[in-house]
Amino acid sequence: MNNKWLFFLCAFFLSAQVNGQVTLSLQVPPAGVMQKTQLWNMVIVYTGSNPMDIYVGLSLLNSRDNRPVMTATTRPFTVTRGAKQVNAADIAPVQYSYLSPIFDVDRSAGGMLPIGNFKACYTIYKNEKGSLTPLSEDCIPVEVQPLSPPILNMPADGAAIETSYPQFSWLPAVPQQLFSNLNYDLVLVEVLQGQTKADAIQKNIPLYNAGYCKEPFNSYPASNKSLDTGRIYAWRVIAKNEDEYVAQSETWTFRVGANTPKELEILNDGYAVMQGSLKGVYIIKDKTLHIKYFSFDRTAETTILYVDDKNETVDRHQQTLTYGDNYLDLKIGKRFQEGKIYQVIITDKNNKKNTLRFRISKNQ
């Protein structure tokens, strides 16, 4: 019996010496924007004496529930004794199978990975007479992050707004082409006495929670209880791809309470930012109103309206606005009187008004 076991042990070690061992050291970036080709950066170490044909199989798993979202298999390639640096060009073509709609954005072999948190698990197979034998396995976390999370826009951080039913807006997470279905959750809470805004957004029951917002804006509904003056509110936006968490914005605060208008002098080469609420009176000196307006609508003709202090129309004209920041130089005609306060109004497709007070300086 002892001789029999000795024979099997000798046979095992002799086989191991002939076939050798195969291990891999992964060099996949742990986080950031990533291409599929970067998943194949690795070093394969082979200790055998004779060349051996192998495959590498990959399963990309959702880190939340270990559900496979993509699998891939390389072509067979040969390893020899020592360490071999491998990249996508060495093992191409790679056969990909997509098991989740998040890959609908880009299914090309050299395309970008979708945003999300994954676990990449690799298996090296020995190819011998058409039979695949697993030799080595390894896994590594992969976090594909956007270049920029959503950035809050309005209400401004620490602002006092005049309406109890505010409209929220933010800049999208980018690059948007990496998302198959980009959507947002908006959370609004009250900041209680002695709380920080971070504590409030984490611990307090939401006063308003809007889920699956497809556009980078949302209005506090008129059917909800109006927000109280004097109280402080905190809000945050969470970006998702399908139902997967992507990134979150900073937390901003605001309160409801009218601002006392102040005269804010701006230079001729400066731009006043149009807001959802009125903030002071801007003085212009050259009969040209320089304003900055962020449009969430696509390129379109828009009416710019001018009204006086009695809300009567003084002038209007058509202006082409594009998505994003628009820097406008608006000529003020003879209908406007020096020293009198006017409002310029731009209304977007959601009937939200952006306004700015101005007056013409008497000292030209």
CA nearest neighbour of 160 among 229, 222, 206: 229
Least confident range from 25-29, 216-220, 235-239, 274-278: namely 274-278
Amino acid at 10: C
Indicate if the pLDDT at residue 136 is higher than 80. yes
Predicted confidence at residue 193, as pLDDT, reads 87
> Tens digits of per-residue pLDDT, 149-169?
899 999 999 888 888 889 999
φ, ψ of residue 299 to 5 degrees: the values are -55, 125
- 292: its two tokens: 């900055």
Using CA atoms, how far apart are residues 146 and 248, in angstroms rounded to an integer? 11
Using CA atoms, how far apart are residues 328 and 314, in angstroms rounded to an integer? 19
Q: Which of 61-65, 188-192, 276-280, 359-363 has the highest mean pLDDT?
A: 188-192
Indicate if the pLDDT at residue 124 is higher than 80. yes
Indicate if the pLDDT at residue 170 is higher than 90. yes
CA nearest neighbour of 339 among 289, 284, 295, 291: 284
Starting at the edge strand that comes first in sequence, how are the strands of the sheet with 353-360 ordered? 263-265, 281-284, 353-360, 341-347, 300-307, 313-321
Domains of the chain by range and CATH? 2-144 (2.60.40.10), 151-256 (2.60.40.10), 263-360 (2.60.40)
Indicate if the pLDDT at residue 186 is higher than 90. yes
Q: Is the pTM of this model over 0.75?
A: no
> Angle 92-98-102 (CA atoms, 0-180°, nearest 5)?
120
Radius of gyration of the chain (CA): 31
Using CA atoms, how far apart are residues 217 and 170, in angstroms rounded to an integer? 6
Predicted confidence at residue 110, as pLDDT, reads 84
